Amino acid sequence: MESGRFIGGEEVSSFEQEFASYCGKKHAVAVSSGTSALHLALLASMSNGKLKRGDEIVTVPNTFTATAEAIHLCDNKIKFADVDDYYLMSTENLRESISPDTKAIIPVDLYGQAADMHRIMEIAAERNLLVIEDAAQVAGAEYKGWKTPVADIGCFSFFPAKVLGTIGDGGAIVTDDEALARKARQLRDHGRSDRIGGKYEHSLIGLNYRLDAMKAAVLRVKLRHLDDWIMQRRRNAALYNELLSEIPGVQVPKEREGNKHIYYVYTIRAQDRDALATFLDNAGIATQIYYPIPLHLQEAYQFLGHKKGDFPVAERHAEQILSLPIYPEISGEQIEYVCDKIKEFYAR
């Protein structure tokens, strides 16, 4: 506040360096939201000639609308692949979904763990496809010992509810690709020239996708605590798993071998899900459904021509998933209370 530098400046550049280092990447480009990160990653890839308008991009239907929005707003074609029992892109279905028009893949790391990224990267390499990892929910997660993102480009969200959240919207693109990072920095700030003294020179038509300095300052402080918060979330998830694993009608979340799940949300699959949610709400326990309607069944995406039954695994999950309270400070007694109420529901 005392610096008077609210846009850009040292806080933003320092956070970029620190977050890139944390992720094990060379570059981070701080932006205004996770949606901005996805949109900007695609625009920068198009500006660098890796994609063009009209290219087909494969993603998943069980994600927040921002993933598909970014594809559509770049005049690219949305193609869906179904998911697996981890709620993540099925590599088998991915292979079936790729067509001669496919030029990129956007796997979504959901609920706190990474997709099967090495296998996805292998498939992409076979077809010479770009991979942009939607890592909005997995800051600090690991895949086979690697911090996310594993892909060529990773897009993060710092929405306040995220494990690493700020005071409002925020996001970042993380990559080892210096040329792409340079393009993204230009595009986020109205396409300004990066030449010294080029403040009012615009070499590209860009956008205002900058991260505020105050939000970056908050993220710099919180980043130092991220690993501790993840450890506490994993401890709390382990207690949930222990208490819920023997309850008929409940399936606890699976952690893929080699993954380090950060449990951004703790999502079970439950029989009679809606009745259970109501029962828990009446007991003073908040729950949430991420996401109740897969994108291919949303009104906004009806132009794609999909119908119910096209992506059966994602649809089945949407009817069963329920996220329970989880955060670093939740107590063991509170978790036991939630689990006792779930047992009570299924014992009726």
Residues 256 and 311 in one domain: yes
From 223, 248, 273, give the residue that closes a domain.
223
Q: Give me the number of domains the chain comprises.
A: 2
Residues 136 and 262 in one domain: no
Residues 300 and 187 in one domain: no
Query: The CATH number of the domain where 69 resides is what?
Result: 3.40.640.10
Query: Cα dist. 151→54, 109, 143, 233 in Å?
Result: 22, 11, 11, 25
Residues 35 and 14 in one domain: yes
- 3-state SS of 261-279? CCCCCEEEEECCHHHHHHH
* Separation CA 336–CA 83 (nearest Å): 31
* Separation CA 117–CA 87 (nearest Å): 14
Local structure of residue 206 (DSSP, 8 states): -
The answer as to whether 334 is a domain residue is: yes
Query: The CATH number of the domain where 248 resides is what?
Result: 3.90.1150.10
**pLDDT of the chain, 348 residues: tens digit per residue:** 888 999 989 999 999 999 999 999 999 999 999 999 999 999 999 999 999 999 999 999 999 999 999 999 999 999 999 999 999 999 999 999 999 999 999 999 999 999 999 999 999 999 999 999 999 999 999 999 999 999 989 999 999 999 999 999 999 999 999 999 999 999 999 998 776 666 788 989 999 999 999 999 999 999 999 999 999 999 999 999 999 999 999 999 999 999 999 999 999 999 999 999 999 999 999 999 999 999 999 999 999 999 999 999 999 999 999 999 999 999 999 999 999 999 999 998
* Separation CA 250–CA 78 (nearest Å): 33
**Residue 332 burial (10 A CB sphere; 0-12, 13-18, 19+):** exposed
Q: Model-level pTM?
A: 0.96
Residues 210 and 302 in one domain: no
Residues 230 and 218 in one domain: no
The answer as to whether 277 is a domain residue is: yes
Residues 311 and 171 in one domain: no
**Type of residue numbered 227:** D
The answer as to whether 1 is a domain residue is: no
Residues 35 and 167 in one domain: yes
* Separation CA 163–CA 111 (nearest Å): 11
From 223, 251, 266, give the residue that closes a domain.
223
Owning domain of residue 100: 10-223
